[in-house]
Amino acid sequence: MTDRHDEIEDWLGSEVHPLAPPPGTFERVQRRARRRKTNQLLVTAAGAVVVIAGAVLAPTVVPTLLTGSSHHTGGPLAGGTSSTPARPTSTSASASHSAHGSSSTPATSSSPVSGGTGLSMSTSGAPAPPNFQPTSITMVTASVGAVIGQAGTPGQCTGPVPADCTSLAGTSTDGNSWYGISAPVVGAPRGTTGTGQLRFLNLTYGWAYGPQLYSTSDGGKTWGGPEDTHGLRVTDLETAGSRAFALLGNCQGTGASYAADCSTFSLYSAAEGSTTLQPVPLDLPAGQRATVMGTAGVASSATLVLTGGPSGGTGYLLAPSGAILSGSLTGSPWKYAGQAPCTPGAASASGTPLGAQLAAGNTRLLINCASGASGTGNARTGTGGGTQQVKKLFESTSGGAHWTKVSQPPAGGQATSLATASQNQVVLATTTGIEYSPDGTTWRPATISGGAPAGGFRYVGMTSATQGVAVPANARLGEVFVTTDGGQTWTAKPIAG
């Protein structure tokens, strides 16, 4: 028998034989890199600001790896003609969503189809499926982005699992037109399974999450997953630079409220092109290590925002304890930066904090502290309205170390999401509408075409000084809202063709 010790040592100690590059390799590499750099600059320059404004909850750091799983190829989500939108279709339990068909015949597909549709700079492919109910939006430029949600007829989607109706749609026209994108085959969020949130880093790399995690490295043409989350649920995920950062929670919530009862959270990150999430070390003061990311058995929330472009940036985390943690977007340790003026408190169904909303601008961090909700509205489920709530807006120009109160936003509605644009405008989504401020000090209701939808909004984000997007709390409306004047007025954009 071979001496196994010697064999391993010999192998480890053996020389690597250099392989000289074939002629012209460097020139080819340079050309390809130049093209990609141009694309990424186009895509991320405006996108990083918006995609990042989404806040979520997230607790404790569990030093375990998430191992990526194989990617599956799927067909276009909506494969019909422009006049005959297709319904969402499942191909197999492990394949990407695929839909082919006509208006009269539900699509069927028994095996994965190559050449799925991905996110692109120009609208292409078949229209989005009917009855599209968006729950999350991600923008990679001011005009190019995607939504995720349930579509078709719940429980009757074609495929081995009829409940798997998760669908994606893309736009390259700021929401004026939509086309189907291949989606991971998985259902709506329900306890430990499903996905309802979406983030793309650029046209290539994207993640569908909450509570499970799926990823794509080809713009959504194929999706891999679910990744191993070690029993934890993904409650927040944001992208910037060349990485994704995710908050994983130890949660007990059931049904659609999968992230409403989480107690401890962990911060992870993954480089583009990698499906492996690595724990982000937290460098904390000795007295805070045990509780900053939550306390077992005590429901809480957290939120994550990132700023920056391809060459660097900073991430900020509002921890369950109210601590602000910050760090570079390289995966290196995040540190304690200061104490926020309030704690994030309880979470919505999808994990966004109800007690505080965090946003990052060019030069300042903003936090809206909300308390004393009353009335008939329910921010957890996004229904109702008319709730009164004391809100206070604070800003920090020291990276979270010191905070100053700048204004008191209107009391109407429960706050759900906060965003700021590059010219200091601030928008606050609530269960009754959207509040607008040109600088954070004075407020007025934003004008919403057709009136604010019942239940208000679950998310708002700004993609440039003038453009932004908002997702209604009621997904059944089948639309998102966009602004082109810095958040002063918002117009509904239906998803389905």
Query: How is residue 127 written in tokens?
Result: 């229209």
Q: Pick the closer one to other proteins by CB: 32 or 289.
A: 32
Site string for other proteins, 68-97 (x = CB under 8 A): x-x---------------------------
Does the footprint of other proteins cover residue 231 (CB under 8 A)? no
Contact region for other proteins (CB under 8 A) — 20-28, 93-101, 245-253, 361-369? 20-28
- Torsion sign (Cα): 255, 261, 266, 272: positive
Of 312, 372, 386, 450, the one binding other proteins (CB under 8 A) is: 312
Q: What is the CA radius of gyration of the chain?
A: 22
User: Peptide bond before 59: cis, by omega within 30 degrees of 0?
Assistant: no
Does the footprint of other proteins cover residue 375 (CB under 8 A)? no
Instruction: Report in angstroms how near the CB of residue 229 gets to other proteins at its nearest.
Output: 14
Instruction: Name which of residues 232 to 261 contact other proteins (CB under 8 A).
Output: 242
CA–CA distance from 488 to each of 325, 454, 469 (Å)?
32, 19, 12
Does the footprint of other proteins cover residue 230 (CB under 8 A)? no
Contact region for other proteins (CB under 8 A) — 13-21, 361-369, 390-398, 451-459? 13-21
Instruction: Report in angstroms how near the CB of residue 185 gets to other proteins at its nearest.
Output: 19
Instruction: Name which of residues 161 to 200 contact other proteins (CB under 8 A).
Output: none
Does the footprint of other proteins cover residue 14 (CB under 8 A)? yes
Q: Pick the closer one to other proteins by CB: 87 or 221.
A: 221
Of 162, 191, 310, 445, the one binding other proteins (CB under 8 A) is: 310
Instruction: Report in angstroms how near the CB of residue 206 gets to other proteins at its nearest.
Output: 16
Q: How far apart are CA 137 and CA 145, in angstroms?
A: 7
Instruction: Report in angstroms how near the CB of residue 13 gets to other proteins at its nearest.
Output: 9
Query: How is residue 287 written in tokens?
Result: 């007295």
Instruction: Report in angstroms how near the CB of residue 77 gets to other proteins at its nearest.
Output: 23
Contact region for other proteins (CB under 8 A) — 36-44, 170-178, 247-255, 445-453? 36-44
Does the footprint of other proteins cover residue 29 (CB under 8 A)? yes
Does the footprint of other proteins cover residue 307 (CB under 8 A)? no
Closest CA to 204 of 169, 242, 175, 178: 242
CA–CA distance from 76 to each of 19, 129, 141, 453 (Å)?
40, 11, 22, 31
Instruction: Report in angstroms how near the CB of residue 362 gets to other proteins at its nearest.
Output: 18
Of 45, 121, 271, 406, the one binding other proteins (CB under 8 A) is: 271
Interface positions with other proteins (CB under 8 A): 1-2, 4-5, 7-8, 10-12, 14, 16-22, 25-26, 28-30, 32-34, 36-37, 40, 63, 65, 67-68, 70, 242, 269, 271, 273-274, 276, 278-281, 310-312, 330-333
